[in-house]
Amino acid sequence: MRVGLDDNLWIGKGQLAHSNAQQVAKIRRILEELGLEIATPEDTREILNLKGKNNVNFLAANATAGLEPSSHHGARGNSGILS
């Protein structure tokens, strides 16, 4: 399930969400009340067949693309993509 301010600005009828975290907390509560299990980051990577940031060489890929490295893991704009 995808949630966040980029998908929906509302947390309830007539109520604007204050943050992505507020929306994530609400949907997590609803899913757990329905008896569904929340996937861990590791589970999600396996389900989506992703490598994970520790198994990807962003610096080499970004150097090839002509991007500068940042002080974070990965390149500018990529540091918050993978969990």
- The answer, yes or no, to whether residue 81 has pLDDT greater than 90, is no
Degrees, nearest 5: CA angle 55-56-60 = 140
Contact 55, 42 (CB under 8 A): no
Q: Which residues on adjacent β-strands are paired with residue 75?
A: 69
| Best CA proximity match to 83, nearest among 39, 23, 37, 30 | 39
Rounded to two decimals, what is the model's pTM? 0.55
Locate the domains of the chain by residue range. 1-38, 40-83
Over residues 27-45, the pLDDT tens digits come to 999 999 999 999 998 898 9
* Helix, strand and coil in the chain, % to nearest 5: 40, 10, 55
